Amino acid sequence: MSLRKKTGEWIRQSVFVGPGLIAFSIIVLVPFLLGFYYSFTEWNGLDLNKAKWIGMDNLNRIFANDEKFWASLAFTLKFTAVTVLITNGLAFVLGLALSRALKTRNVLRTVFFLPNVIGGILLGYIWQFIFTKGFKTIGEFTGWPLFELPWLGTPGTGFWGLVIVFVWQSAGYMMVIYIAAIVGVPKDLSEAAVIDGASYWQTVRKMTIPLIMPAVTVCLFLTTSNAFKMFDLNLSLTKGGPGTSTQSLAYNIYAEALVNNRYGLGTAKAMIFFVLVSLIAITQVWLTKRKEVEA
Amino acid sequence: MSKAVLAERRSKKLLIVEAIAIVLALLFLAPFYFVLVNSVKALGEIMVDAASFPKKYLFSNYSDVWEIIRFPNVLYHSFLITGLSVLGLILLSSMTAYRIVRRPTIFNKTLFFCFIASMTIPFQSVMLQLVRVTSTLELRGNLLGIVVCYLGFGLALSVVLFHGFIKGVPLEIEEAAVVDGCSPYGVFWRIVFPLLKPITVTVVILNTLWIWNDYLLPVLIIGSNKDLTTIPLAVTRFFGQYTKQWDLALAGLAMSVTPIIVLFLLLQKHIVEGITSGSIKG
């Protein structure tokens, strides 16, 4: 290759890839790599330029002496398991119903999807009102004890409060993905099943579900990852309270750094958080790859 | 059983399904009802009864909050930040993806792998170091800074989406343009980019929804700069100052969710399509 041609190639590479590469490097790559360093330092937000190397101290402290961190991990795991089951159960049933010939089908799809376009912060504030004032009024009218609970006032009900809002927010999104998959199942297949005398639920179980497995995998992992990383909702609905009983992992990291002003310790926790999130992602890739081989 | 009986049974069953779905949909809408109804009540009335229609309509709640959170300014900031970031993301990610597809050198392949791998990094794992880096580069507290942050965080998914689409664009069209004397940049902008419209719509939608609603990044990067406060920041600040002032708070919430809901209702078809294709590829 002539020198001129080479220079031309190089310029084109810089023009096309350069700007993106610079943005990606300074915003994601460099901060991420710095994380490995800051995890081993004592560092606070008051003087960002001063970080003191303290070796394994942060990690020792997290593993030996930070019950709140582990409590928030337990909370997050429980929250993830419960919301993944409920969200996908509801979304799948909605997907089945709304892919049939209902008259109000389009309006219903819109309604179920609607909460998803609103951010977690605003949703949390809206539901704060519903749980504290709206439920109280409904309770007074109907006398149902369910509505008279102090919803955001106890650890148990606070947990379920977060679950309700999370499901309300994400079910519509997953429903859309399920609908796209269910509509894609060939019509003649289900007709053949009906002629052979299969009941509706038999067709769903033996035919629809196996055929839409790729969509099921996508939805399961989307909800798992979103639930595991829940933050906005946590901040605006319960603020982790009462006490720190409904603190998610992401919220615990946030509080450690921006409330307690321990950036170094916060970074160390955040890197552990990263490892856990990657485990979820690796499992997904592994499962999807294995399925592709089988199919 | 005759066909007519079967059909009738099936339609009856469908009616029941429809009825249940409608009831569930009303439950889904209930929170919006609570917000709207109480946003035009006096605080005293909300405390007594938070479910009925107001006895007296109080629209001053809206005008009061409009002033307090400086809604027009805040709305403008959200538009500005989201608009510039999404525009920048389309430019940078389509160009990057195009180059990676057409020149799969080792460097570009490695870069693409880095983009994919970076999608697993949660925001919390970079946010504190990002504060440090953006402070040093003077990207904190200004418009350029927040937009560059969104470019950095949004790039990976957008490049992956464009990459998947560009792979399907036939090379012959480009070769013909080159023969006709078109420059490499002209080939991209005049020939290839117009063909990317469907995936561009997806990229715009996915990024708009995320950036518009984002909270933590603006807190860290914009901070207390009043000239850039976005809707989520303004609402959070308002809740910090006016605790339990539900009359004003609900009017503010109703106001704040309106723009994105209107956008959703207008672009519904595209949004739903964008999400389905985005989540399956992404």
Q: What is the pLDDT of residues A145-181, one digit of tens each?
A: 888 888 888 998 999 999 999 999 999 999 999 999 9
Q: Which two tokens stand for residue B195?
A: 């063909």
CA A169 – CA A117 distance, rounded (Å): 9
Higher pLDDT, B233 or A284: B233
Is A60 part of any domain? no
Task: Copy the structure tokens of residue B101.
Answer: 């597809």
Contact of B93 with B165, CB cutoff 8 Å: no
Q: Do B124 and A253 touch (CB under 8 A)?
A: yes
The whole-number pLDDT of residue A219 equals 92
Contact A137 B114 (CB under 8 A): no
- Please answer yes or no on whether B133 and A214 come within 8 Å at the CB atom: no
CA A196 to chain B, closest CA, distance in angstroms equals: 15
Cβ of A48 within 8 Å of Cβ of B135? The answer is yes
Instruction: Give the pLDDT of residue A292.
Output: 61
Residues A235-289 have pLDDT tens digits of: 999 998 788 899 999 999 999 999 888 999 999 999 999 999 999 888 888 887 7
pLDDT at A279: 92
CB contact under 8 A, B257 and A270: no
State residue A1's pLDDT score.
59
Q: Is A42 helix (H, G, I), strand (E, B) or coil?
A: strand
List pLDDT tens digits, range A45-69. Answer: 777 788 889 888 889 889 988 889 9
Give the per-residue pLDDT at B3.
65
Give B111-157 as a DSSP string.
Answer: HHHHHHHHTT--THHHHHHHHHHHHHTT-SSSHHHHHHHHHHHHHHH
Residues in chain B within 8 Å Cβ distance of A122: 213, 231-232, 235, 253, 256-257
Q: A229 falls in which pLDDT band (50, 70, 90)?
A: very high
Structure tokens at A48: 């960002």
User: What number is the average pLDDT over the span B5-34?
Assistant: 87
**Cβ atoms of B86 and B211 closer than 8 Å:** yes
Domain of residue A160, CATH code: 1.10.3720.10
- Residue A52 pairs with which residues in a beta bridge? A42
Residues B198/B162, Cβ–Cβ less than 8 Å: no
Is A51 among the domain residues? no
pLDDT score at A283 = 87
Distance of alpha carbon B201 from the chain centroid: 12
- List, as ranges, residues 39-58 from B with C-beta within 8 Å of A: 46-47, 49-51
**What is the structure's pLDDT at B282?**
47
- Residue B17's closest chain A neighbor by CA? A97
In a domain, A38, yes or no: no
A254-258, B199-203, B241-245: the lowest-pLDDT one: B241-245
Domain assignment present for residue A11? The answer is no
Answer whether A253 sits within 8 Å of B96, measured CB to CB. Answer: no
Instruction: State how many domains chain A has.
Output: 1
**Residue A161 CB neighbours (<10 A):** 25
Q: A291, A214 in Cβ contact below 8 A? A: yes
3-class DSSP assignment, residue A140: helix
B83 neighbors B259 (Cβ within 8 angstroms): no
Question: Once rounded to an integer, what is the mean pLDDT over residues A101-107?
Answer: 87
More confident residue, B82 or B267: B82
Q: What dotted CATH number matches B70-241?
A: 1.10.3720.10
pLDDT in tens, B130-183: 999 999 999 998 999 999 999 999 999 999 999 999 998 888 888 888 888 888
Q: Predicted confidence band at B6 (pLDDT cuts at 50, 70, 90)? A: low
Distances (CA, A) of B270 to A33, A106, B83: 37, 14, 18
pLDDT at site B165: 92
Is residue B241 over pLDDT 60?
yes
Average pLDDT, chain B: 89
Alpha-carbon distance of B245 to A129, in angstroms, equals 11
Is A188 part of a structural domain of the chain?
yes
Residue linked to tokens 């961190």:
A69
Which of A73-77, A136-140, B228-232, B255-259 has the weakest average pLDDT? A136-140
Task: Name residues whose C-beta falls within 8 Å of residue A192's C-beta, 6 or more positions apart in sequence.
Answer: none
The reply to whether residue A104 touches residue B14, judged by beta carbons under 8 angstroms, is: no
Q: What does the alpha-carbon distance between residue B192 and residue A20 come to, in Å, rounded to a whole number?
A: 19
| Residue A98 DSSP one-character state | H
* Torsion, CA B81, CA B82, CA B84, CA B87, rounded to 10: 170
The residue among A191, A6, A182 whose CA lies nearest residue A92 is: A182
Q: Is A43 helix (H, G, I), strand (E, B) or coil?
A: strand
Partners of B135 on chain A (C-beta within 8 Å) are 48
The DSSP H or E segment spanning A51 is strand A51-53
Neighbours of A277 (CB within 10 A): 21
pLDDT at A294: 54
| Average pLDDT of the residues in A115-136 | 92
d(C-alpha A112, C-alpha B29), whole Å: 8
In this structure, of A132-136, B54-58, B91-95, B150-154, the range with the lowest mean pLDDT score is: B54-58
More confident residue, A293 or A255: A255
Smallest CA–CA distance from A179 into chain B, residue: B276
CB pairs under 8 A between A and B: 255
Residue B27: partners with Cβ closer than 8 Å, 6 or more residues away? none
pTM above 0.90, yes or no: yes
Determine the structural domain holding residue A98 and report its residue range.
68-294
